[in-house]
Amino acid sequence: MKKKFIRIFRNILFLAAGVALFYWIYKDMDMQQLKNAAGNLKWGWIIVSLILGTLSNLSRAFRWMMLLAPTGYRVKWYNSFLAVLVLYLVNLIIPRAGELARCSVLTRYEQVPFPKAIGTVVVERITDLVIMLILAAIIFSLNLSTIKEFFLEHPEFGNNIRAVLTFRNLIIGIFAIAVLAVLYLLWARKSGNSLMIKLRKIKDDFIAGMRSISQVSNIWIYLGHSLFIFVMWLLMLYSVFLAYEPTAHLGLRVAMITFLMGGLAMLAPVQGGIGPWHFMVYETLFIFGITKAHGKIFALIAHTSTNLIYLVIGLIALLLLPIVNSGFRKKRVKQVTD
């Protein structure tokens, strides 16, 4: 109960920090300017952005199915897709909890063991991290002077990164893992056989999920889906560039840099990246000659349009899941009865 309270308190604290930053950014905004921007917005490009987001989610759903298949579970595409939509909805409420929520969806509706589902999700996250690092390296190398200018104007970001990635912190992390491993082994010896059997089953399921990457039907299709997801995310942002007149003249290169800097902000454990994402985006656009007032409006439009649609379709997905699966459950019951 104490741990649960601490977790809830921590999430509320991070959300409060994000909201405070968001308020600080927008407290002096001219509402008439915002209304004019919304009125002059090219909504066709906003719709294109939402379509691209849907395509990325479909690709993510099919990629997940590819990882689940080697574990012995061929899930229905619509359950995988709806589970991905639930992921984004939950992340807007509790940061980092969306992955657990989507695994719970497949555990409930496809009987996929939760540890196996988690194992495949870990593989996905590692894949996304590797691709993000590769893209980041490419973007950094092509835009070194621009990135350097940003960090010169905001030295606190560089200091924070260096503070985290120190040799001392690495040693502490390794030591902590070693202590946890020793404690686990000592506890396991004292535990009963039935408990150990359950723990081994959970461990085996998790490892089976992790190993699924080595058994996917076609690794190139899997990697293609992974790259496609990132391209869609980038084009989603670029579509908003084209929708908003002050940024419409900026090219794809600027969108790539903004996408990267916004991605760094999403590392903050704040629901939906509210606050940090807006700050990183409008400060990045300022380097390319976009006034901070216009940059703030752009960040607000891009963030709100994306997260609002995720909120709506996530709620729809929650409602659809029991409906689309009820008929199949009845059919299975009938087959068993016959």
A 10 A CB-CB count for 137 gives 10
Note the pLDDT of residue 163: 52
What does residue 248 show for φ and ψ, rounded to 5 degrees? Answer: -60, -25
Q: What DSSP assignment string belongs to 245-283? A: GGGTT--HHHHHHHHHHHHHHTTSSSGGGTTHHHHHHHH
Give, in degrees to the nearest 5, the angle at Cα 120 between 198 and 188.
25
User: What 8-state DSSP symbol labels residue 291?
Assistant: -
Contact 70, 210 (CB under 8 A): no
Note the pLDDT of residue 142: 76
Note the pLDDT of residue 65: 95
Note the pLDDT of residue 147: 66
Note the pLDDT of residue 175: 63
Note the pLDDT of residue 334: 39
Q: What is the pTM of this model?
A: 0.73
Contact 85, 231 (CB under 8 A): no
Regions of the chain with pLDDT less than 50:
9, 164, 330-338
CA distances from 27 to 14, 122, 217 (A): 19, 39, 52
CA–CA dist 262, 256 (Å, integer): 10
CA distances from 50 to 55, 137, 239, 302 (A): 9, 27, 9, 11
A 10 A CB-CB count for 132 gives 14
CA–CA dist 190, 27 (Å, integer): 58
CA–CA dist 82, 78 (Å, integer): 6
Task: Please list, in sequence order, all residues whose beta carbon lies within 8 angstroms of the beta carbon of residue 20, skipping any fewer than 6 positions away.
Answer: 275
Note the pLDDT of residue 41: 86
CA–CA dist 252, 235 (Å, integer): 8
- Candidates 234, 264, 252, 315; CA nearest to 56 is 234
Residue recorded with tokens 């980041």? 136
